[in-house]
């Protein structure tokens, strides 16, 4: 059950969503592209912007960098019950690259048009960064602290594995986070429609990450001759086999709970995961990856001249595995590509899953249903990863909860890292109201 809020004086009137659209637009306007190779502008300007907005209302921040320009921000606001463990509110400041020629609006314009805020980071994840700032600034100015202490962390480098951000903070500055027991961050709390019912999905887990290098070796030689021992041919067979491999469905408890909630709405058997998830429309693209392991080849490299058969060919594969299946995943990858292919896991991060219960889950559910009483709330397992993987190392129980009430016809999951990324203005305002309510309940 959600614990009762301690008796206190009536709060001053305030609007938690008053600034969220402007803050989101201005954050998007700060280019924090992270290409994963240290070539980008870094996160410092965005971190300084956040620090200034917090300082305006009397919240001090600490800026921390592993390398120049790769800036993280940590701040704290005490709650009305200092005996409670702090709630971690976290968002990352970096974004993936964007090719401006492909976009309707310049990706770093933060243009507000047609009921949307447009630009790279609008949903991943400067929307939630703006919600946090809008809610805390409004509450601080009105003199309405949260129920429990809040630790704010805005990180660098989430889009490239968090080596300059979350994981570095855990390695070098864990004292700033060590007393947090629960966290709320990106990807979750957004609406979908199944049948005729609005359903809000809260992330309660995420797949593990196994980025792999496949290497095939053969005999180098002249391209005019016969080469049965061709590294490129051998690699191509392996990549085709792995990219087309049909990984079996095996829902974990999180996704089993979602299937049970959604099956009656979809008119489907909860045992048929793909049939149930098809009722989510375009969101099935992401949700379907949450019930099976996945392997997607994404890069190929071989040779240096058309008439020279190379001795080595390599490919990189984005692999994601379900909680509890890491060893099985590794073994199956090797079996699919065959014994002649070397498989190296270049980047590894574990899968996470937490039970969808407890006071924080009750608080998130109540905060959503107070805004939309006829909706349903269920957990899901995210196909990607977040900074929660870093906080998990400290024993922090994390959820994805960026509340957004979305138009039914919006292909929301396609906007993550997609062209013309945008977030509805009224969804930002909705999310700010829900987040504000959460800080009274959590």
For residues 309 and 341, state if they share a domain: yes
Which pLDDT value is given to residue 235?
98
- Summarize pLDDT for 29-88 with one digit per residue, the tens: 999 999 988 889 999 999 999 999 999 999 999 999 999 999 999 999 999 998 899 999
- Which residue of the set 43, 94, 157, 436 is catalytic? 94
For residues 304 and 383, state if they share a domain: no
Which pLDDT value is given to residue 278?
95
158 noted as active-site residue = yes
Q: Which residues contact 114 (CB under 8 A, 6 or more apart)?
A: none
For residues 170 and 295, state if they share a domain: no
pLDDT at position 227 over 70: yes
- Summarize pLDDT for 148-182 with one digit per residue, the tens: 999 999 999 999 989 999 999 999 999 999 899 99
Which pLDDT value is given to residue 7?
39
Tally of structural domains, the chain: 2
Main-chain dihedrals φ then ψ at residue 342, nearest 5 degrees? -80, 130
For residues 192 and 222, state if they share a domain: no
Q: Are 329 and 319 in contact (CB under 8 A)?
A: yes
For residues 93 and 181, state if they share a domain: yes
135 domain-assigned: yes
For residues 307 and 403, state if they share a domain: no
> In whole angstroms, how far apart are CA 214 and each of 209, 292, 349?
16, 21, 18
242 domain-assigned: yes
For residues 226 and 290, state if they share a domain: yes
For residues 193 and 340, state if they share a domain: no
For residues 131 and 158, state if they share a domain: yes
327 noted as active-site residue = no
213 domain-assigned: yes
Q: Are 108 and 27 in contact (CB under 8 A)?
A: no
Q: Which domain holds residue 296?
A: 208-349
For residues 321 and 387, state if they share a domain: no
Q: Are 203 and 380 in contact (CB under 8 A)?
A: yes
CATH of the domain at 116: 3.40.630.10
- Which residue of the set 19, 129, 158, 206 is catalytic? 158
Which pLDDT value is given to residue 11?
53
Q: Model's pTM, two decimal places?
A: 0.91
CATH of the domain at 266: 3.30.70.360
């Amino acid at each position: 059950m959600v614990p009762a809020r301690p008796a206190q004086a009536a709060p001053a009137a305030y609007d938690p969503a008053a600034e969220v659209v402007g803050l989101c637009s201005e954050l998007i306007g700060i280019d924090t592209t992270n290409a994963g190779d240290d070539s980008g502008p870094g996160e410092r300007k965005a971190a300084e912007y956040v620090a200034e907005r917090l300082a305006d209302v009397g919240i001090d921040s600490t800026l921390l960098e592993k390398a120049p320009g790769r800036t993280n921000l940590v701040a704290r606001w005490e709650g009305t019950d200092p005996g409670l463990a702090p709630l971690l509110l976290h968002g990352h400041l970096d974004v993936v690259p964007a090719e401006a020629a492909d976009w309707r609006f310049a990706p770093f314009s933060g243009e507000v048009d047609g009921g949307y805020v447009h630009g790279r980071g609008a949903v991943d994840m400067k929307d939630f960064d703006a919600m946090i700032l809008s809610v805390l600034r409004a509450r601080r100015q009105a003199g309405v602290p949260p129920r429990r202490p809040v630790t704010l962390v805005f990180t660098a480098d989430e889009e490239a594995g968090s080596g300059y951000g979350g994981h570095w903070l855990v390695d070098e500055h864990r004292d700033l986070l060590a007393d947090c027991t629960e966290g709320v961050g990106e990807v979750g709390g957004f609406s979908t429609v199944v049948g005729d019912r609005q359903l809000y999905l809260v992330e309660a887990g995420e797949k593990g990450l196994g980025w792999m290098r496949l290497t095939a070796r053969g005999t180098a030689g002249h391209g005019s001759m016969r080469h049965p021992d061709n590294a490129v041919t051998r690699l191509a067979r392996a990549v085709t086999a792995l990219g087309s491999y049909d990984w079996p469905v095996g829902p974990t408890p999180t996704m089993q709970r979602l299937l049970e909630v959604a099956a009656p709405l979809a008119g489907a058997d909860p045992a048929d995961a793909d049939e149930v998830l098809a009722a989510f429309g375009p969101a099935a693209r992401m949700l379907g990856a949450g019930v099976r392991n996945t392997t997607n080849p994404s890069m190929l490299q071989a040779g240096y001249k058309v008439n020279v058969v190379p001795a080595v060919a390599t490919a990189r594969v984005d692999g994601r595995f379900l909680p509890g299946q890491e060893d099985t995943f590794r073994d199956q990858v090797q079996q699919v590509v065959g014994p002649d292919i070397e498989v190296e896991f270049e980047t590894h991060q574990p899968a996470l899953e937490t039970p969808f219960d407890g006071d924080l889950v009750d608080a998130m559910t109540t905060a959503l249903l107070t805004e939309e009483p006829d909706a349903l709330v269920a957990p899901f397992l995210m196909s990607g990863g977040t900074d929660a993987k870093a906080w998990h190392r400290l024993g922090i129980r994390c959820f994805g909860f960026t509340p957004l009430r979305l138009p039914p016809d919006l292909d929301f999951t396609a906007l993550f890292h997609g062209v013309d990324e945008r977030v509805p203005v009224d969804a930002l305002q909705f999310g700010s109201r829900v987040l504000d309510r959460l800080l009274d309940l959590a």
